Amino acid sequence: MAHVDFLNPSPTVRVVRIESAPFAQNSYVVFLHGKTECLVIDPGFEPQAIIDCIGSLQIKPEAILLTHGHSDHIAGNASLRAQWPTLPIFIGHGDASKLLDPAGNLSGAFGLAITSPPADRLLADRETLDLAGLTMTVHEIPGHSSGHVVFLIQNSTPQLVFGGDVLFREGVGRSDFPDGDFEVLAAGITHRLYTLADGTVVFPGHGDPTTIGHEKRHNPFVPA
């Protein structure tokens, strides 16, 4: 059963984390305090918990944002699209093909053959998005997957990163998948994330939130 946490990382932005079995993957519902629109980031294997959460908050999703195309981060797309038929799906251009390919999204290896509706918008590196009252920058950080992106919310104090499987609390995403590369992953963390303010909060695809400052001091895989 999904585990739901209500987080308040800033005075203005609300974050709900839905941790889904079987991979303890984090999906997020993100919205600006006082707004009725929200974003859903990386809907996983328990989409009904996301739908119920949105309903209980009396808000409406404006978009699905995907950090990458692995199955545990896209498994809920079809259910959310069934609930909200016009809900657009955003993903980095380099991972879009994984949505339709069970081998590419790694579900085929588990006998699941998960697919998603196709992307409505392909994201480019350093692109700016304005959605649900939130302004964010897309940063392409491959290494866990070839088209992995992270989302940096700028109009929040502190700033917030929704980082998928790039940077974890004292850990990093796996780089042993077919399109993974640890050196590329580490370089992206160093040059794209460690350059952010120490107080920047990182919401990872698995595990608890952390900060850039904590990881620069304590991450054993990518020391600052």
Residue count of the chain: 224
pTM above 0.95, yes or no: yes
Point out which residues pair with 181 in neighbouring strands: none
> pLDDT tens-digit profile of 136-189?
999 999 999 999 999 999 999 999 999 999 999 999 999 999 999 999 999 999
Report the chain's terminal Cα–Cα distance, integer Å. Answer: 37
Q: Where are the domains of the chain?
A: 3-218
Name the CATH superfamily housing domain 3-218.
Ribonuclease Z/Hydroxyacylglutathione hydrolase-like (3.60.15.10)
Spatial separation of the C-alpha atoms in residues 145 and 148, rounded to whole Å: 5
> pLDDT tens-digit profile of 140-153?
999 999 999 999 99
